[in-house]
Amino acid sequence: MKRNFLTLAALSAGAVVLAEPALAAPAAAAPAADAVGGGTAYILNTLLFLIGGFLVMWMAAGFAMLEAGLVRAKNTSTQCLKNIGLYSIAGLMFWVIGYNIAYPGFAEGSLGLIGGFTGIYSMQEVGAADLETGYSVASDWFFQMVFCATTASIVSGTVAERVKIVPFFIFVTILTGIIYPVVVSWEWGGGYLDTVHGFSDFAGSTLVHSTGGWAALMGAIIIGSRVGRYGPDGKVNVFPGTNIPLATLGTFILWLGWFGFNGASQLAMGTVGDVSDVSKIFVNTNMAAAGGVVVAIILTQVLYKKADITMALNGALAGLVSITAEPLAPSVGQSILIGGIGGAIVVFTVPLLDKFKIDDVVGAIPVHLFAGIWGTLIVAWTGDATFTGQLVGVLLTAVWVSGASAIVWLALKYTIGVRPSEEDEVNGLDKAEIGVEAYPEFART
């Protein structure tokens, strides 16, 4: 009875909204379907995409603040420029080429590895609505585009403080236009991983986060470490971030944005069941992040006798990445466990990278790559997937993204060059790349 009442109330509300007179020029009569459940579901589903989309877009601000807080003062302006630039490039490339590579409509009998490119993505006409899709196609494009931008943001933090702007933006162009969309096509686009292996990645632990992580890892290896980061005697020199409160704010912004990232990946809000599922996804997402923070704090206290703020911040993000592959099916307890293990992964793998002299400025590789792999594989326990299918997805993504990214990074390195001069790096990229020296007292720190 309660379910029927809620459904009736939703339908009535939709009818009232649709009956309101337009504030702009008079519109044509609404299709008959708008007066019944189909139109209401269309509106609610579209609203979910739009709200989820602008929350994920807000994550771009989170990445920018996190990175600006964790780099040295002499590089903060450059890091902010990289973040607003990569977001804009991602949007352009996803419209020009990316979306239609990600969702090519594989031909029947196709292996589903490479789809055809059908040209620039066409948006819906003004006032048009295809009720059969269940949502506005423009809202779907926007929601998918901000995921694409997130992938590029991951790379930005890892290779910070020692990559020039132009080669970085060229890499982002290829990553968002080709490399990432191909991975998406294998699963969300109904390609090889989806149809052959039953691979499952609800909101992108592998498709988004591990993709960004593999691209970042290749960049860190090929570009090399920052000047002075590793001493000849094996000593790891710590370069403290310039603004921990800013980095903390960035983490909270990312945490907030993740509700759109995971919640809107339900892809529907037109029924009572869908709305309930979105609510559960919010809870599981939040609790996984909390688990990651608490485990990171406890482990650093036990291992180093002092809690570490940067580990706690990355513990939250690792918990979020870990639950992203399947945020609906687990219980709250399972979500806390999955996120907690993600936090532990960060604590143990950050120093591991330093042993191999892989310089990851913000810890993005442990957070997005390692925790992303963990979150993807554990779906075999919590969701409707097999371990073999999940492992194939992880490995295929690793081979494609690592190989393609390495080719691009190497091509840039041996043509136009990737790194600034040692003098420019020591003086700061703000001065060398964009002519800003807001903090001269920190110029050589």
List beta partners, residue 230.
Answer: 236
Q: In angstroms, rounded to a whole number, what is the distance separating the alpha carbons of residues 289 and 382?
A: 17
Name residues whose C-beta falls within 8 Å of residue 68's C-beta, 6 or more positions apart in sequence.
76, 79, 80, 242, 243, 246, 247, 250
Q: In angstroms, rounded to a whole number, what is the distance separating the alpha carbons of residues 301 and 390?
A: 34
Distances (CA, A) of 160 to 80, 146, 292: 11, 21, 24
Q: In angstroms, rounded to a whole number, what is the distance separating the alpha carbons of residues 221 and 443?
A: 26
Q: What is the DSSP letter of 114?
A: S
Of the candidates 387, 349, 352, 393, the residue with the CA atom closest to the CA atom of residue 368: 349
Q: Which domains does the chain have, with CATH numbers?
A: 37-104+137-442 (1.10.3430.10)
> Which residue is it, tokens 């990229």?
429
pTM, two decimal places: 0.89
φ and ψ at residue 363, rounded to 5 degrees = 80, 25
Helix, strand, coil tally for the chain in percent (to 5) = 70, 0, 30
Three-state SS letters, 314-377:
HHHHHHHHHHHCCCCCCCHHHHHHHHHHHHHHHHHHHHHHHHCCCCCCCCHHHHHHHHHHHHHH
Of the candidates 236, 45, 254, the residue with the CA atom closest to the CA atom of residue 131: 45
Q: How many other CB atoms are found less than 10 A from the CB of residue 174?
A: 18
pLDDT of residue 132: 81
Name residues whose C-beta falls within 8 Å of residue 224's C-beta, 6 or more positions apart in sequence.
162, 359, 419
φ and ψ at residue 236, rounded to 5 degrees = -100, 115
Q: In angstroms, rounded to a whole number, what is the distance separating the alpha carbons of residues 63 and 57?
A: 10
Class of residue 110 by CB neighbours under 10 A (exposed 0-12, middle 13-18, buried 19+): middle
Q: In angstroms, rounded to a whole number, what is the distance separating the alpha carbons of residues 220 and 216?
A: 6
Distances (CA, A) of 51 to 139, 180, 258, 265: 9, 23, 12, 11
Q: Are 237 and 231 in contact (CB under 8 A)?
A: yes
pLDDT of residue 443: 45
> Which residue is it, tokens 């990355």?
314
Q: In angstroms, rounded to a whole number, what is the distance separating the alpha carbons of residues 152 and 167?
A: 13
Q: What is the DSSP letter of 30?
A: P
Q: Are 362 and 158 in contact (CB under 8 A)?
A: yes
pLDDT of residue 216: 98
Max distance between CA atoms of the chain, in angstroms, equals 77
> Which residue is it, tokens 């969309």?
181
pLDDT of residue 111: 84
Q: Are 239 and 75 in contact (CB under 8 A)?
A: no
Query: Which pairs with CB-CB distance under 8 Å and at least 24 residues apart come from 136-141?
Result: 136/42, 136/46, 136/49, 139/46, 139/49, 139/50, 139/53, 140/49, 141/94, 141/95, 141/99
In the three-class reduction of DSSP (H, G, I as helix; E, B as strand; rest coil), residue 147 is classed as helix
pLDDT of residue 38: 62
Helices then strands, counting H and E runs in the chain, come out as 19, 0
Per-residue pLDDT of the chain (445 residues; tens, 9 = 90+): 334 433 433 333 333 333 333 323 333 333 434 434 568 999 999 999 999 999 999 999 999 999 999 999 999 999 999 999 999 999 999 999 999 999 998 877 788 888 766 677 777 777 777 788 899 999 999 999 999 999 999 999 999 999 999 999 999 999 999 999 999 999 999 999 999 999 999 999 999 999 999 999 999 999 999 999 999 888 999 999 999 999 999 999 999 999 999 999 999 999 999 999 999 999 999 999 999 999 999 999 999 999 999 999 999 999 999 999 999 999 999 999 999 999 999 999 999 999 999 999 999 999 999 999 999 999 999 999 999 999 999 999 999 999 999 999 999 999 999 999 999 999 999 999 999 875 544 444 4
